[in-house]
A and B are shown apart, each in its own frame.
Chain A
Amino acid sequence: MGSIVWSGLVDGAVFALLALGFNIIFSTTRILNFAQGEFLALGALLSYSLTVDHHLPVPAVLACVVLAMVAMGLVVERLVVLPIRLSGSSYAWIIATIAVAVTAENAMVVPFGRDPVRPPGLVAGNAFTLSGAPESWQTVLIIVAALVIVGLYEAFLAFTIYGRAFRATAHSLDITELMGIDTGLVIKASFVVSAIITGIAGVLVAPVTFADTSMGLRYTISGFVAVIVGGMGSSLGALVGGFLLGLVTAVAAVKISPGWANVIAYAALGLVLLLRPNGIVSRAAVH
């Protein structure tokens, strides 16, 4: 049971980072980015390619992934925001983000192929054993990193001038614009920050799971469930939703079956949407 809970926490940490990524873009744009998991997929696949094919050291890999995420964040922002602005349909955002997700997933096939890959851990060795099963340092790193990243993001919001611009934009785009803040720039920045966090989640998770081009959509849906369950716009909610989803699916996967675990998670999501549409830890409502 101990190892089940541990693996649930590890999955949950990754889901929490995805939920945080969802939150960051949602707060400035009111868009739920269905291409969110593609940042994670690119981070994971790139880290494999750089470590295994190009033998780069860990800091260089991280630096390259961050640069790639800046670029991808900016490209995705254009591909999502432009169609919404030009089409004028109230549902444009959902279709645009799904289109970006499918396009990104299939574009990644060109350099990376379709085969699942698994890079070595950023840190080697096993940390401890739980009910007879060894747990690697990598899994410890994932959980710690998730908590640190969420903490850093909250500190960024609270203590920096850019963080205040983020919060102001989240509150009201028009008024923030009137205050002389370039909200277009804030939106671009939110895509970049969100992409970096989610890309790093990809680097972290790749060594404990298999990375392939189709992983993006799977993680998008998990992150989506986590963010809805936790509540939009709340970092605490992202953690709660992420860990809750991770634990429930890990336990259900062992006790019932991995396939049904997902179905149960989706049914739970539907219930949360119906009964507590603003999530368990709610701050902002979706308009």
Chain B
Amino acid sequence: MAEMRRRLDELRRPSGPQQRAQRALYAAAGVGLVGLLVLPLLQDQLQVNDFLFFFITASMITILVTTALNLCMGYTGLLSIVHTGLFGVGAYATGILATQAHVNTWLSMLLGVVAATSAGVVIAAVSLRARALYFGMITLTFDLIIAGVATNGGRLTGADTGLFGVPQPQLAGNDLGTRGFYYLTLALTVLTLLAVRNLMRSRTGRSFMAIRESADTAAALGIPAYSTQILAFAVSATIAGAAGAVYVTLNGFVTPQSADLSGALILFIGVLLGGTATVIGPVLGIGVIATIQHYMEVTAPNYQQLIFGAVLLAAMMLVPAGIVGTWKRSRLGSLEEPEPPSSPIGNLVEALPAERGPALRLTGIVKRFGGVLALDRVDLEVVTGSIHGLIGPNGSGKSTLVSVATAFLRPDEGSVELFGEPGPRRPHLTARRGMVRVFQSPHIFERLTVLENAMVGLHLESRQRLPASVLRMPSFERDERRLRGLALSRLEEVGLRQIAMRPASVLSHGQKRLLEVARSLGARPRLVILDEPATGLAAHEVLALAALLRRLKRLGLTLLVIEHNVPFVMSVADRVTVLNEGRVLIEGEPALVQASSEVREAYFGTLEAAGE
């Protein structure tokens, strides 16, 4: 009820040209959908032949595979060149079961989808062992293998000529028929697009996009990169497999060409021309290219691939953001989403344990890189509830020490203790243990909004489950509202609430830094490690940052601040450790450290000489 009232309020808002343009778009999409629904009923009046339905159905199948590719490539940043192969696995598995094992066609289709999903999990699990570009190449070899197996599979796959005679699924004792397939595919496409939209506006979708932007940062916020990427690939493979299962039963056959590289071009066109990482992009991209294809089948059947290639190259040069991206950047399309209503909930940080023992204790840390001794028996103790400064000249080992503390690096000797227990073994486990790291250069998820950035920080806080997210169940809606409220309260805390709906890429360097702090608070940390937070900030931004750190301390947080900016550290820190050439030079209260002659010589001396 409240939801409905909110929607009504939105409609009553004063409307500018952007709102009108958006409403016109929604209306057009609605009319289009209704048109597709009633088209078969008006077939006789409009005098369209069955081929049109077959063509639209085939295009929707391509849209499904393109949407699957977009999920991998656009949203999760995984370059997959195996999507025609996954489509082929779905098609071949369905076809083989239906023709050779004589399994009921509906059941064959279902099992075909399961086969594609399983293949996707295996391919992702193997390929993800490699880094970014090699990932794409390994998926390509999987595609070549799938097409090769189809070509050489003998009687099982029908070899070069392909698998024929796949029966249609039955509906009330009859074949599904052209119209039946039309409606089946339409329903499948609409539901898939809705599911992808819902998924991308949930915790799971945000973690996909966070990994795309930076897997390390995502891990620091508690998102396990490997299993999340496998999940994304599995969902994507399921969609591609479903498209394959429908394709093979619609046509009654499948050939090895369906699974090989040549079919991948149209998928890339669909994603890039329509707009990567947008729900409707694949529909528009495939819509355009399929229409061209449709007319060329009559006029110039031999030059289809030539035109495809040319359109793709032209699209990359002329509309690099794709149709949707270009529209969103235009004057009419640049509509800022209304700020969601929020109800600030709860405290910023959890109630803290009463004891004042060390939050973080590093003992005798030794780290070598080849022959270089980066850290030489370093001890560091950060008292709970304090701001601890860590300073030292360039190359003194500060960042290495932080990487050891946060499990990005494993020490050669020594131990890490976090709140009295052994430190975490893997980076993504640190957040679960109450420790988050804010990186040296701002690791903001540039293509997400400010609010989404803050919400990724709430990954561990979220209780959303994948099915509930996709189906928009009340439990999901409740959790999402709660997360939004929490995220907005954190943005309020750092003064970014007013620009919550802007893309993070437009923020200034200082704002990005603040956003990163706000995001790191999402995981309800007890210890925040800030790696050179004042670097590159303007003077007034440094003051704001210092004020923010003091406020966080009052809220009960422990802060470890690694810095070059000595006056800044001295102004905020309770205790300071000075690192030089991989060793602790001195540790104590700021005034004491500043007075130390050793430090002056090793560190400040050089600065004074440089005229600082």
CB of A162, distance to nearest CB on chain B (Å): 28
CA A103 to CA B141, docked complex, whole Å = 22
B149 CB-CB contact with A under 8 Å: yes
Q: Are A87 and B317 in contact (CB under 8 A)?
A: yes
User: Quick one: CB contact mask for B116-155 with A, threshold 8 Å, 1 for yes?
Assistant: 0000000000100111011011100110110011011000
Q: Are A99 and B309 in contact (CB under 8 A)?
A: yes
Chain A residues closer than 8 Å to B316, beta-carbon distance? 83, 86-87, 89, 92, 95-96, 99
Q: Are B268 and A98 in contact (CB under 8 A)?
A: yes
CB of A55, distance to nearest CB on chain B (Å): 29
CA A269 to CA B310, docked complex, whole Å = 31
A163 CB-CB contact with B under 8 Å: no
B272 CB-CB contact with A under 8 Å: yes
- Known A273-B134, A286-B133; judge A99-B313 contact (CB<8 A): yes
User: Quick one: CB contact mask for A267-287 with B, threshold 8 Å, 1 for yes?
Assistant: 101100110010000000011
CB of A274, distance to nearest CB on chain B (Å): 6
Chain B residues closer than 8 Å to A286, beta-carbon distance? 133-134
CB of A32, distance to nearest CB on chain B (Å): 8
B505 CB-CB contact with A under 8 Å: no
Partner of B141 from the list A86, A89, A101, A273 (CB cut-off 8 Å) is: A273
Partner of A102 from the list B133, B134, B148, B308 (CB cut-off 8 Å) is: B308
Which A86-123 residues have C-beta < 8 A from chain B? 86-89, 91-92, 94-96, 98-107, 109
User: Quick one: CB contact mask for B277-317 with A, threshold 8 Å, 1 for yes?
Assistant: 00000000000000000000000001101101110110011
Chain B residues closer than 8 Å to A102, beta-carbon distance? 262, 265, 305-306, 308-309
Chain B residues closer than 8 Å to A107, beta-carbon distance? 306
B261 CB-CB contact with A under 8 Å: yes
- With both beta carbons as reference points, the residue of chain B lying nearest to A82 in the complex is identified as B317
B65 CB-CB contact with A under 8 Å: no
Chain A residues closer than 8 Å to B276, beta-carbon distance? 89
Chain A residues closer than 8 Å to B312, beta-carbon distance? 95, 99
A57 CB-CB contact with B under 8 Å: no
Most B CB contacts (10 A, CB to CB) among A92, A98, A102, A273 go to: A102
Chain B residues closer than 8 Å to A89, beta-carbon distance? 272, 276, 316, 320
B264 CB-CB contact with A under 8 Å: yes
- With both beta carbons as reference points, the residue of chain A lying nearest to B159 in the complex is identified as A259
How many of chain B's residues have a CB under 8 angstroms from any CB in A? 39
How many of chain A's residues have a CB under 8 angstroms from any CB in B? 41
A228 CB-CB contact with B under 8 Å: yes
Q: Are B272 and A257 in contact (CB under 8 A)?
A: no
Q: Are B79 and A106 in contact (CB under 8 A)?
A: no
A262 CB-CB contact with B under 8 Å: yes
A217 CB-CB contact with B under 8 Å: yes
A79 CB-CB contact with B under 8 Å: yes
CA A99 to CA B273, docked complex, whole Å = 13
Q: Are B149 and A263 in contact (CB under 8 A)?
A: yes
Chain A residues closer than 8 Å to B144, beta-carbon distance? 221, 262-263, 266
Q: Are A267 and B141 in contact (CB under 8 A)?
A: yes
B552 CB-CB contact with A under 8 Å: no
CA A263 to CA B150, docked complex, whole Å = 10
Chain B residues closer than 8 Å to A109, beta-carbon distance? 302, 306
Chain A residues closer than 8 Å to B149, beta-carbon distance? 263
Chain A residues closer than 8 Å to B133, beta-carbon distance? 286-287
Partner of B136 from the list A94, A267, A269 (CB cut-off 8 Å) is: A94
CB of B57, distance to nearest CB on chain A (Å): 25
Chain A residues closer than 8 Å to B199, beta-carbon distance? none
B559 CB-CB contact with A under 8 Å: no
Q: Are B145 and A273 in contact (CB under 8 A)?
A: no
Q: Are A263 and B152 in contact (CB under 8 A)?
A: yes
A128 CB-CB contact with B under 8 Å: no
CB of A47, distance to nearest CB on chain B (Å): 23
- Known A98-B264, A259-B151, A259-B152; judge A103-B313 contact (CB<8 A): yes
B235 CB-CB contact with A under 8 Å: no
A-B contact pairs, 5 of them (CB 8 A): A32-B137, A86-B317, A87-B317, A102-B308, A217-B262
Q: Which 3 A-B pairs have the closest CB atoms?
A: A103-B309, A106-B306, A83-B316
Q: With contacts A94-B81, A100-B313, A274-B126 known, what are 15 further pairs, Cβ within 8 A? A: A83-B313, A87-B320, A91-B136, A94-B136, A95-B316, A96-B313, A98-B268, A99-B265, A102-B306, A106-B305, A259-B152, A262-B148, A263-B148, A270-B145, A274-B138
